[in-house]
Amino acid sequence: MGIGTFGSFTQARLAIYASQTGLTVTGNNISNVNTKGYTRQRLDLRSLHSSGADRYYSSTDVRVGQGVLCTGVSQLRDPYLDIRYRSKMAEVGAMDVKLGGLEGIAQVLDEVGKGEIPQGKDFGIVAAQFEKVYEALKGITDQTGHSEYDVQIRSACEALAKQLNAYAAGLQELYDNTVSSYEKDVTEVNTILKNIRSLNESIREANIYGDNALELRDERNNLIDQLSEYMKINVDYTTEEIGLGVTVEKLIISLGNANPDASIHTDTSVLIDGIYGAQFSINPVLNPAAYQYVDEFGGLTNDPHKAAKVPERNPDSLLDPADPDYDGTNLWMDKDGNPTDVEADANLVLKQNDDFVEADFKDGLLYLKANGAKTASFDEAAHDSNFGLTISELRDARGRLDNIIQKFQEQLATEAEYQASGGKAVTVTDPVTGMISVTTFRKEVQPAVRRNSDWNGEYQYVTPGGRGTNDPAKAAQIPVMNPARDPDAENSEDNPWYMDAGTPPAPTSVLADAQKVPQENENWDPDDPNCYRYFEADGTTPTNDIDAARYSKVTYYKQLYTKSPSHPVTLDDNDLLGALQSERELLTECGEFSQKDTITGRGPTSDENAASKRGIQYYQKTLDLLANQFATQFNMANQGVLTDPDGNLVTQVWDAGKKKMVSGLVTIPPEGGAGSYQLSKKDMLSNREWDMSKVPAGAKQWLVDNGYKTDDGDADMMAYLKADHKLLDTDGNVVDGADIGEKAGDVMVRNAFIGGNLFSNNGDSDSDKDPPVTASNISISYEWSKGPMIVNSFTCPPGEFIPASTDSENILENMTSLFYKKLEYRPDTLTDGARSDSMFSGTFEEMWINIGTTLGDDMKTTTTLLDNYYEESISLDTSRDAVSGVDFNDEAMNLMMYAKSYNAACRLMTTIDSVLEKLINNTGVIT
Amino acid sequence: MIPRTTTVGSLKTYRYNLQRSAHTMEKSQTTVTTGRTFNSFADDPTTAARSFQLRRAYLRTSSQYDLNESVVRKYEVAYGAMESVSKTVDTDEESVGSAYYAILRAQNAATASGRNALGQELTAHANDLVQTINGRYGDNFVFAGADGLNVPFTWEAKQNPAYDPDFDPDNPPDPTNPPSKAEIAQKTSRYLKQDGTVTNYASEAGRVLCYRGIPVDTSDPDELKKLDYYSNSEKKYVDIGLGYDMNGGKVESSSVYDIAMQGVNFLGGYGTETKTTTIPDPNNPDGTIEVSFTLPRNIVTITERMGAILQNCSSNSGTFASDMEEAEFDLLAEQFEEASARIKDKHINLTTQAQFLKTNQQQLKTNADSINEQIEAIDYVDPAAAISDFIFAKYSYDTALKVGNSILAQSLMDYLSF
């Protein structure tokens, strides 16, 4: 069928239209060259060709295409490059945020190039201040006893304390700002997710009406790119049937399987499922009284399915091994409610939360505010210290819940299961999770024959050809012989050889009348089971009847489908990789200060690499540890008991004979008696420590009874020595000053303990405990702030009760030495549950430099990684642009191409017009 | 297949490269303007740590230098005092004005009428010696050992050892045997005069030289124990860069320097010695009798005693008050010579110590200079290299800008013509 007379006009018109559309698409590409995320578009053309042939089609005619059709506009995009780019952007985001946080820490702690510049050198601030303390100590070793040198040390220490306070405040401010930033970014991620969900809905709607919605896709790609900086994601494009055989595209975004622990699957949680989307929330602090159960990780839950299961205890048994009546028997209850000794036999019950209060649960007071008050409002709740995240259930824009349908692999079922179901589908709805499980059953019947594997190959019958057979029909047929015949005589009526087929059989001499039976194999023994080829269907009775041996093999199958409403997912510690996780790690990771359980345990907060991840808290805790070590060491160095040059305790006791105080022995109890103890040099571990194992029980009891005890209630000799002992005369009156020596008492002892805390946790107190000294609270003690109190020496010359006025032994040996001594820094000093071995060994200054070096190393590594990742991301983005980006040369070519084709189409129309003019107006006209 | 290079891709790549170029130039500029090879721990953590270590060593050495200088000054003061003491106790016979010169004159003078005056001169010498040795450096007494805030040598009123504050003459311990007046005077008088009689007035009392409260010529075992401690065991260590180290909780003595100068050691010593000599005794067949004297070792108390003996001589004839005193004087002269010799040893020792401290001072300065050079080497850039780097970075940046100016200039678009 050829084209109609005016069909060529249509052909030209389509060509003009295609060229013009091509110019429009090119124009659109040029216009959007600077539009972020724009994907270049291409006009899809198809040749118009009418197919089919008619019966009377002339074989001499030719088929010609009828022009060009614009079938659509498509985007040029490489999904694989998108995946690689987004994966890289997660790493860029992670390193970028981490580096930003570390730079914030460095702004506080990095002292390179900072500080005063004496002698042309910048010595740092805290680093220089440590040296100023050292220098001031040097001064006092030379000018011992002059209070102005004590003041110089105090001033240097005060400046150091203030500087540490300022650094701690700086880190706390950074921490608080990072919390705000983290909250803001979670909100930003939620906004992105909402927008993607909204765009999905618009694209879906456009798809239904046949529109590709390319610009919306660009916008969505931009958002997905943004999301990929916050977290590693997987993006899948699937199709969704919407009925009538129509399918539209469905976008699924899930977390990118970032958790190195392969047994954890929350790192693939779905964020976007078409028109359904999830939202992130920071885990709140839970009200421990509002939760009934404890899960296997020690977390709180009201979901019995998540509760840990523990063996049921026998309520009548004694549970405390310390109880004298505890016999360790029948500790458990078995499944039948009977007591048992065997824990493995015990009934498993849900682990109850001991703090549970039903009223709180009923009132819905599930959370705690920052001030510890209970609240039912999630928004009012304080953030959990781990800043963990929960992904909400998937909902569409109108709040409808997404359901996830899963089809599991078909499994074998038992006949009983099949029979119980009656072959119909069984539907079960979980009342807690709302998950609907549908199990369908089917059976398959297969014919089979039970063969005898021991068959000896002998058949029951013999065929006419002499072969074996078990089929009597195929066997040779032989007459039934008359048992009464005379075989030696001829067959005759008188001596008939055969028996006929009558009932009962009668002898006959006519072979044709004789009854015929199959010829049996002589070797076949009916009593030998091995002569049978099969077993009957019962599997035990031998037979040669194949029909009897036939049975039916039935197999049952079951198929599980679940339809579960989308539910919230609490993310594991390492489920995310990207900016959000880095921000969270800046807030939570504390390196060597991590809880031992976090490093070795399992659960939402476990992370075997936690010890090497260092966020703001690490630097806060390290700074605290340094401040605490400094205060503790100096406080220890500045107090102790006086000794003589031989190391004997210098106590002042009244010598009635000499009528003066002399250095003498002290007995506890002072009145002596059985179990008393005489204080001795050999039991002194140092000027500050007493070997209490050498003190007899009676003396210890006296110490405790008189209030000289530790916080744990144990006897404390140093407390006794520290106490302010009054001197009493014979009448029990206190004597002091000039009166001493004039009156003699029975018990006159003056304490040998001198000194006290130089540093405290508050400028108004002298205490360095409860709370312990940290970088944020380290202060000069109240006592020191009032006046000099540095102990120059604990050694008194022989017979003296005070050290020599300029003796600086203590300063040199116990204070100056602190600037040379390698001190051990143990994380559990200030952080309960952290490791107890040393994280660093060095002087104060070395510890301080170590903080800077650790930070510098971390920053350098992060910078290098960020540079690499960023460069790779730029390279990938350029590669994406190589596919999707607009290029002026390309578009110029398109302009030329479409302009030329436009011109040609116009020429075509002119030509056709011209020839038709000839045909219509000038053909057949005779002039 | 040649990868497709697009306008958008080229722009992005250019933008990234331009940023890098600008960043590199900014870093070079910072290096030139600060003169530092690194400006944060992150730039070079290892070198930054090393730099702080060197700075610490520099500050420590400087502080040790300052302390050493203070010690040197103290030793200079001590040396000056000992020069004066040495002159006073010089046993050179020609040493006019020395105590020994006075002693010789007292011993050998043809006329002995001047012995009283010589006695006064010796007493004055004793006072001078105490004043000299009690000198201060700054606020501290130089020769006070570790008790620098308290004057080391003091003249104390001579205590009466028989004094009993609880003695009541009206209620004697044994009423059946009441004490005599002399006994009552002995028990109720606090002091002894120079001649050994008792008194309750400190102003009348004789005087005793004490070192840090202990009489230097004591023979009391408890007091001697204290003086032994001061003399031999009491230390005052300072850290002047000798490798401060601890050993068993105590500072290693070889790693620090003892600056406790015990005055009692610089004045001949303390305690007493017993010496024997003979004096005329007509009652003995050989005309002499052997007598023992308990003699002080300290040069001040020796001089003081010799002055007292001379002042006790006859003001008319100048003869000694007794043969005993003359014999004691001669023995004291020997003691003086021995004590003088000990003082000279100490003086020489002090000179050696002062020299060591000065050498150490020089060493500390050298160390500080060396550390300073190391800091310069690792912290600060070579200006020529830094400026060259900066110029190169700027050249790269300028070039990048130039490229940017023309990156969009040419494309097929510019040649289209319809």
Which secondary-structure segment (H or E) carries A689?
strand A689-690
Question: Smallest Cβ distance to B416: which of A141, A883, A892?
Answer: A892
Q: What angle do CA A154, A158, A159 make, to 5 degrees?
A: 120
Whether pLDDT at B112 is above 70 = no
Average pLDDT over chain B reads 89
| B220-224 contacts at long range (C-beta below 8 A, 24 or more positions apart) | B222/A798, B222/A799, B224/B270, B224/B271
DSSP per-residue letters across A715-776: B-HHHHHHS-PPEE-TTS-EE-GGGBTTB--S--EE--EEE--SEESSTT----TTTTP-TT
Q: Report chain B residues whose CB lies below 8 A from the CB of A645.
A: 229, 233-234
In this prediction, residue A774 carries a pLDDT of 96
Cα(A342)–Cα(A320) distance, integer angstroms = 17
Question: Smallest Cβ distance to A881: which of B6, B67, B233?
Answer: B6
How would residue B172 be classed by pLDDT, with cut points 50, 70 and 90? confident
Q: Distance between terminal CA atoms of chain A?
A: 35
In this prediction, residue A610 carries a pLDDT of 81
Q: Report chain B residues whose CB lies below 8 A from the CB of A853.
A: 41, 45-46, 48-49
Hey, of A805, A861, A867, A906, which one would you mutate to test binding to chain B, going by the most B CBs within 10 A of its CB? A805
Q: Which residues pair with A653 in a beta bridge?
A: A662, A749
Q: Distance of CA A658 to CAs A653, A742, A796, B166, B403, Å?
A: 11, 11, 20, 12, 102
Q: Which residues pair with A442 in a beta bridge?
A: A557
Note if the bond before A670 is cis, omega within 30 degrees.
no
Are the beta carbons of A793 and A800 closer than 8 angstroms? no
In degrees and rounded to multiples of 5, residue A810 shows phi and psi of -65, -40
- Torsion, CA A830, CA A833, CA A838, CA A843, rounded to 10: -10
DSSP per-residue letters across B116-148: HHHHHHHHHHHHHHHHHHT-EETTEETTBTT-T
A300 close to B (CB below 8 A): no
Condensed to tens digits (0 to 9), the pLDDT of residues A514-552 reads 899 999 888 889 899 899 988 887 888 898 888 888 887
Instruction: Sort A624 into a burial class: Cβ within 10 Å, 0-12 / 13-18 / 19+.
Output: buried
DSSP per-residue letters across B341-389: HHHHHHHHHHHHHHHHHHHHHHHHHHHHHHHHHHHHHHHB--HHHHHHH
Condensed to tens digits (0 to 9), the pLDDT of residues A108-165 reads 999 888 877 555 567 888 988 999 999 999 888 888 888 888 999 999 999 999 999 9
Q: Report chain A residues whose CB lies below 8 A from the CB of B413.
A: 888-889, 891-892
Question: Smallest Cβ distance to B149: which of A33, A121, A806?
Answer: A806
Nearest CA-CA partner of A806 in B352, B212, B347, B61: B212
The single-letter code of the amino acid at B276 is T
Q: What angle do CA B49, B50, B51 make, to 5 degrees?
A: 90
A135 and B46 in contact by Cβ < 8 A?
A: no
Are the beta carbons of A382 and A369 closer than 8 angstroms? yes
Q: Which residues pair with B258 in a beta bridge?
A: B237
What proportion of chain B, given as a percentage, has pLDDT over 70?
97
- For chain A, the C-alpha Rg in angstroms (whole number) is 49
**A280-282 vs A293-294, strand pairing mode:** unpaired
A849 or B247: whose pLDDT is higher?
A849
Hey, of A26, A31, A119, A121, which one would you mutate to test binding to chain B, going by the most B CBs within 10 A of its CB? A121
In this prediction, residue B376 carries a pLDDT of 87
Hey, of A38, A112, A663, A686, which one would you mutate to test binding to chain B, going by the most B CBs within 10 A of its CB? A112
Buried b (16+ CB within 10 A) or exposed e, A192-230: bbebbbbbbbebbebbeeeebbbbbbbbbbbbbbbbbbb
Cα(B58)–Cα(B369) distance, integer angstroms = 8
Q: Distance of CA A189 to CAs A177, A183, A279, A306, Å?
A: 18, 10, 8, 28
In this prediction, residues B231-247 reach a mean pLDDT of 91
Instruction: List the structure tokens of A541.
Output: 């009775």
Question: Smallest Cβ distance to B375: which of A121, A817, A850?
Answer: A121
How far off is chain A from B344, nearest CA to CA, in Å? Answer: 27
B12 and A881 in contact by Cβ < 8 A?
A: yes
Question: Smallest Cβ distance to A135: which of B16, B63, B246?
Answer: B63
Q: Distance between terminal CA atoms of chain B?
A: 31
The DSSP letter of residue A708 is: -
Hey, of A142, A648, A844, which one would you mutate to test binding to chain B, going by the most B CBs within 10 A of its CB? A142
Which secondary-structure segment (H or E) carries A247?
strand A246-255
Can you say whether the dihedral through the CA atoms of A322, A326, A329, A331 is positive or negative?
negative
Please name the residue of chain B whose CA is at the shortest distance from the CA of residue A136: B63
Tell me the Ramachandran region of residue A659: left when phi exceeds 0, alpha when psi lies from -120 to 50, beta otherwise.
left
Compute the count of residue pairs across chains A and B with CB atoms less than 8 Å apart. 219
The single-letter code of the amino acid at A654 is W
Q: Report chain B residues whose CB lies below 8 A from the CB of A847.
A: none
Q: Report chain B residues whose CB lies below 8 A from the CB of A895.
A: 416
Instruction: List the structure tokens of A894.
Output: 């398109």
Instruction: List the structure tokens of B91.
Output: 């046993």
Are the beta carbons of A294 and A352 closer than 8 angstroms? yes
Nearest CA-CA partner of A772 in A559, A897, A624: A624
Are the beta carbons of B304 and B267 closer than 8 angstroms? no
What residue ranges of chain A have pLDDT lower than 50?
1, 743-747
B70 and A893 in contact by Cβ < 8 A?
A: no
In this prediction, residues B358-375 reach a mean pLDDT of 93
A781 close to B (CB below 8 A): no
Alpha carbon A750 to its chain's center: 62
Task: Name A248's Cβ contacts closer than 8 Å, sequence gap at least 6.
Answer: A204, A207, A208, A239, A240, A242
Condensed to tens digits (0 to 9), the pLDDT of residues B72-87 reads 999 999 999 999 999 9
